[in-house]
Amino acid sequence: MLEVRGLTKAFGALRASDGIDIEVREGETHAVIGPNGAGKTTLIGQLAGNLRPDAGTIRFAGEDVTALPAPRRARRGLARSFQITSIYRDFSTLQNVALAVQAHSGHSFRFWRPAFADEALISPSRKILEEVGLEKRMHVLAANLAHGEQRQLEVAMALATRPRLLLLDEPMAGMGIEESQRMIAFLQTLKRRHTIVLVEHDMDAVFRLADRISVLVYGRVIATDVPDKIKANPEVRRAYLGEDA
Amino acid sequence: MTGTLVFEQLLNGLQYGVMLFLMAAGLTLVLGIMNMVNLAHGSLYMVGAYLAVAGTQWTGSYALGALIGFAGTLVVGMVVEVVALRALYQRDHLDQVLATFGLILFFNELVSMIWGRGSLYSALPAWLAGHVELFAGSRYPVYRLAVLGVGLLTAVILWYVVTRTRLGMLIRAGASNRTMVAALGVNIRLLYTVVFGFGAALAGLAGLMAGPIYAVQPGMGELILIQVFVVIVIGGIGSVRGALVGAIIVGVVDTLGRAFLKPLLATMLSPTAAEAAGPALASMLIYLLMAVVLAVKPAGLFQSR
Amino acid sequence: MRGKLFWIAAITVLAALPPVASALGEPFYIDLVRRIMILAIAAASLNLILGYGGMVSFGHAAYLGIGAYSVSILAFYGITSGWLQWAVAIGASALVALAIGAVSIRASGVYFIMITLAFTQMLYYLGISLEVFGGDDGMRLKAKSALPLVDLGDAVQFYYVALVLMITCVFIIFKITNSRFGMVLRASKSNEARSRAIGFSPYPYRLAAFVIAGAMCGLAGALYANHTNYIVPGFMSWVQSGDLMFMVILGGMGTTAGPMLGAFALLIVEEILKGWTEHWQLWLGPLLILSVLFFKRGLAGLLERRDA
């Protein structure tokens, strides 16, 4: 589904991405982990289309998307959620999702009919909110949602665009234990129907959700394997624990 | 169209360019470092011109008048910064545009109140009022050469400060990453005040030098300010080098265009057509140039970020 | 509903003004309010791109000038059909907006402000340099636009034409901003990164909005020419652009009633100040600064309760 070859991005002398190779198979949940400063944010930026790589290619569903800007990748089915919550704060929860649905409903050069009265946008939005568990907060202003709810909204908006691949950037960021558990349970249901690239720090979530894990250190992938083998991998242990010891 | 005429217009273009640079340097730094759009920059230019003229009349000496203009603008600039602009640093660009627009209205009217709406006469002392023979047959005003000289000297000093001193390093760092500089523990408020002071002083200098050449009247600041914007867009925000290159280009293109486009068109079209189209096209030249530069390099020729 | 009540009241008051003013022997107010309503159309068009779209266009007065000059130039050459003149006014404004927008909209933030200002100034200088149309001094309107059924030469009939057009334009903006198109615009203003991430490419929508706004302002310009009878390049000055922006801000950005309220507020304040002193801009300047610093939500914000 997603094929990354030799992805390189340097900021001056700093090689944030140093020849990254990753392969994500259809239907799998592929986690990307790594210590701070490994270059995860830069990698996400390039996968989503916000950063131009200096070298390397990104192929999505068989198509070379390296030069495609973010909106066009999104329209092709590559959806992302943001690590730092990025929702429409001055719109309601329902409207947030409706906008995502609208973005995926062809062009928006319609000038007359009110968008938020359009059942074609509202029904799917309501369904998605039910899936995610936010339907009781439909009409609340997004800015007034609790942090955990906002993170749920992030995922909901990604789902609303009927993605082929979900790029989730630390979905659990800033969540307490209970909220995290709920999110993990939700992601486990998502797993069955979507291909997911998951960037996370929360190791509990990673080992419960990932089919395979790629470990990123200083811009390079040092290992890609199933969770058990990664746990046992000496290089990985050194990268994580060696620094912490 | 003799070679002498072309050369003289070229010098005029350089002289105008250098004045644009003085304005652009301050404005581009304020934009780059403080991320603030200051439309009232033109008002400082106007204040410099008016204070210089008033000072000369009051003291009877051109040199003293110029000094009053320069120092006076610096003071006015500082006062404006503390009273009105400090509140705007945190605001978005729209607020800054509107608030500084209000300042323009205020200053233009203040100046009209004190000195009237007509243009003031700006006298030159004898030692600057003459002409110089550059080469056979060309008489060029001493004053314009002096302006060119002062401008180039300022450019050199600015270059030295920006590239060779610690303050300059902070300025360049601030222009490319403001938050990082603050995080490094630099006194940002002081840096802002210094940068703004620089800008005000340069605008005042441009203004006091402009008096004898251009009309000293309310609204004179806005006329040049828009061309300064073109310079900054072409040169790139935050780049002093860009300001210099952009200013020279704009100054020369504009001056040569105004001087030679009409006669040039007259050789190709009828005299009446050239009469109508010439000045019209000449006035549009630098904006078309800006559009072309933008198409190729959307963030200007020398982007600092 | 509070909103509907406001509009019914507003339209009633405005419709009743001419007979009341005539009865009181004060026809001046018919002219004044007509001017305000015409500029309110211009402000409404700016509100689309500025208030809803977040595009700080400092050059919107350009279209006021283009519209006005279209009418005046055609009248100069003997073409007085209102339909034709106004169609040209709207069409020319749309084309220029397309050209300027295509170059400027890709530019971010500060660049956009400076570029739109620069292009408007270019048009202003163009106006000054065209001696054939009066240059700096401007030109007198040879004849008013000829429209079927109404005579723009009659102050009261013209007033009602302006009222109808203002309500129509405000309504059109209302529909547009609540449509899917408007939502893309508003979403891009609210959070551009998020909009791109879900698949909206803001550029085509912003460009279209820019053209629509320009065209509507061109219509305002055509009306303005008929109102002032004298067309000067100053219509395109950036002081005029600034005035339009203030109307949008004072009235309340991104609201339906905002531009109208703002136009009334600004122009009435100007009238009052002008009555007091010749140097009224000395007071207007600081007044505007204070309103920016302390009154951001605008008048509509006072009237409406906060809704999404």
Contact list, A72 vs chain C (CB under 8 Å): 199, 201
Strands A195-199 and A165-169: parallel
Contact list, C190 vs chain A (CB under 8 Å): 88-91
> C130 and B287: CB-CB below 8 Å?
no
Cα distance between residue A28 and residue A1, in whole Å: 9
DSSP conformational letter for B86: G
> Is 70 exceeded by the pLDDT of residue A243?
no
Asked casually if ipTM beats, i.e. exceeds, 0.90, the reply is no
Centroid of chain to Cα C109: 22
Report yes or no: A95 at the C interface, CB cutoff 8 Å.
yes
Rounded average pLDDT over A41-69: 89
Contact list, C181 vs chain A (CB under 8 Å): 108-111
> What's the pLDDT at B253?
92
CB within 8 Å of C38: residues ≥ 6 apart:
C162, C166, C220, C223, C224, C227
Residue C191, phi-psi category: left (phi > 0), alpha (psi -120 to 50), beta (remainder): beta
Rounded average pLDDT over A108-114: 89
Contact yes or no for C280/C64 (Cβ under 8 A): no
> Is 80 exceeded by the pLDDT of residue C214?
yes
Helix, strand, coil share (%) of chain B residues, nearest 5 = 80, 5, 20
Sign for the CA dihedral angle at A156, A158, A159, A162 comes to positive
User: Does A have 3 or more CB contacts under 8 Å with C?
Assistant: yes
Please, is B90 exposed, middle or buried when counting C-beta atoms within 10 Å of its C-beta (0-12, 13-18, 19+)? Answer: exposed
- Residue B135 domain-assigned (yes or no): no
Contact list, C107 vs chain B (CB under 8 Å): 294, 298
pLDDT-derived band at C307 (thresholds 50, 70, 90) equals very low
> What's the pLDDT at C142?
84
Q: Residue C118 is nearest to which of B98, B106, B287, comparing CB atoms? A: B287
Strands A63-64 and A220-225: unpaired
> B95 and C292: CB-CB below 8 Å?
yes
Tell me which amino acid residue C193 is. A
User: Domain boundaries in chain A?
Assistant: 1-77+163-245, 89-162
- Residue B153 domain-assigned (yes or no): yes
Q: Residue C180 is nearest to which of A80, A108, A157, comparing CB atoms? A: A108
- Residue B11 domain-assigned (yes or no): yes
> What's the pLDDT at C32?
93
Rounded average pLDDT over B270-280: 75
Beta strands (DSSP E) in A157-202 are 165-169, 195-199
> What's the pLDDT at B43?
93
Of A214-223, B24-33, C41-50, C72-81, which has the strongest mean pLDDT?
C41-50
> What's the pLDDT at C61?
95
Among chain B residues, the shortest Cα distance to C291 is held by B99
> What's the pLDDT at B304?
59
Cα distance between residue B285 and residue B289, in whole Å: 6
- In whole angstroms, how far apart are CA B275 and each of B1, B261, C76? 17, 10, 20
Q: How many residues does chain C have?
A: 308
- The residue behind tokens 């720090």 is A201
pLDDT-derived band at C304 (thresholds 50, 70, 90) equals low
Percent of chain B with pLDDT over 90: 23
Sign for the CA dihedral angle at B192, B198, B201, B205 comes to negative
> Is 80 exceeded by the pLDDT of residue A47?
yes
Cα distance between residue C46 and residue C54, in whole Å: 10
pLDDT higher at C166 or C6:
C166
Interface test with C, best of A112, A137, A150 (most C CBs within 10 A): A112
Centroid of chain to Cα A224: 19
Report yes or no: A207 at the C interface, CB cutoff 8 Å.
no
Number of H helices, E strands in chain A: 10, 10
Beta strands (DSSP E) in B114-214 are 131-133, 139-141
- In whole angstroms, how far apart are CA A175 and each of A150, A156, B198, C126, C279? 10, 16, 48, 60, 59
Tell me the pLDDT tens digit for each residue of C56-75.
Answer: 998 999 999 999 999 999 99
Against chain C, the chains showing at least 3 CB pairs within 8 Å are: A, B
Tell me the pLDDT tens digit for each residue of B145-200.
Answer: 888 999 899 888 888 888 888 878 877 777 667 677 777 777 777 778 888 888 89
Cα distance between residue B189 and residue B83, in whole Å: 14
pLDDT-derived band at A242 (thresholds 50, 70, 90) equals low
Least confident of A60-69, B277-286, C82-91, C162-171: B277-286
* Number of domains within chain B: 1
> How many beta-carbon pairs below 8 A join chains A and C?
99
Report yes or no: C150 at the B interface, CB cutoff 8 Å.
no
> What's the pLDDT at C306?
45
Average pLDDT across chain C, whole number: 90
- The residue behind tokens 């395979």 is A212
Tell me the pLDDT tens digit for each residue of A173-208.
Answer: 888 888 888 888 888 888 888 899 999 888 888 888
Report yes or no: C10 at the B interface, CB cutoff 8 Å.
no
Cα distance between residue A124 and residue A34, in whole Å: 36
Cα distance between residue C279 and residue C259, in whole Å: 26
**Best CA proximity match to B203, nearest among B78, B65, B303:** B78
Sign for the CA dihedral angle at A56, A61, A62, A64 comes to negative
Q: How far is A239 from chain C (nearest CA, A)?
A: 32
Query: Residue B278's domain spans which residues?
Result: 3-118+141-296
pLDDT-derived band at B108 (thresholds 50, 70, 90) equals very high
Rounded average pLDDT over B19-45: 89
Please, is C63 exposed, middle or buried when counting C-beta atoms within 10 Å of its C-beta (0-12, 13-18, 19+)? Answer: buried
Tell me the pLDDT tens digit for each residue of C96-105.
Answer: 999 999 988 9
Average pLDDT across chain B, whole number: 85
- In whole angstroms, how far apart are CA C265 and each of A243, C21, C74, C106, C252? 64, 19, 33, 34, 11
> A91 and C197: CB-CB below 8 Å?
no
DSSP conformational letter for C253: T
Interface test with A, best of C177, C180, C185, C253 (most A CBs within 10 A): C180
Architecture per CATH, domain A1-77+163-245, reads as: 3-Layer(aba) Sandwich (3.40)
> What's the pLDDT at A89?
92
Least confident of A78-82, A174-178, B202-206, C98-102: A174-178
Least confident of B20-29, B80-89, C190-199, C209-218: B80-89
> What's the pLDDT at C177?
95
Contact yes or no for A12/A214 (Cβ under 8 A): no
Against chain A, the chains showing at least 3 CB pairs within 8 Å are: C
Cα distance between residue A182 and residue A147, in whole Å: 14
> B284 and C245: CB-CB below 8 Å?
no
Report yes or no: C294 at the B interface, CB cutoff 8 Å.
no
CB atoms within 10 A of CB B197: 16
User: Which two three-digit tokens encode residue B132?
Assistant: 């110089």
- Rg of chain C over all Cα atoms, to the nearest angstrom: 19
Cα distance between residue A152 and residue B209, in whole Å: 62
Q: Cα-Cα-Cα-Cα dihedral of A145, A149, A150, A152, to 10°? A: -160
CB within 8 Å of C216: residues ≥ 6 apart:
C41, C42, C44, C45, C48, C90, C169, C172, C173
User: Which two three-digit tokens encode residue C291?
Assistant: 């309103």
A187's enclosing H/E stretch is: helix A177-191
Q: Residue A104 is nearest to which of C191, C195, C199, comparing CB atoms? A: C199
Report yes or no: A214 at the C interface, CB cutoff 8 Å.
no
pLDDT higher at C184 or C3:
C184
**Best CA proximity match to A202, nearest among A239, A165, A235, A174:** A174
- The residue behind tokens 């590239």 is B163
Tell me the pLDDT tens digit for each residue of A208-231.
Answer: 889 999 888 888 888 888 888 888
Rounded average pLDDT over C22-34: 90
Rounded average pLDDT over C121-137: 84
DSSP conformational letter for C144: P
Q: Residue B97 is nearest to which of C111, C113, C281, comparing CB atoms? A: C113
Coil vs helix vs strand at C268: helix
> What's the pLDDT at C266?
92
> Is 80 exceeded by the pLDDT of residue B275?
no
Q: Which A residues 135-174 touch C at CB under 8 Å? A: 141, 157, 160-161
Percent of chain C with pLDDT over 90: 56
Rounded average pLDDT over A141-158: 90
Any idea what the CATH number is for the domain that residue B223 is in?
1.10.3470
Contact yes or no for B220/B214 (Cβ under 8 A): yes
Rounded average pLDDT over A61-84: 90
Cα distance between residue B194 and residue B177, in whole Å: 17
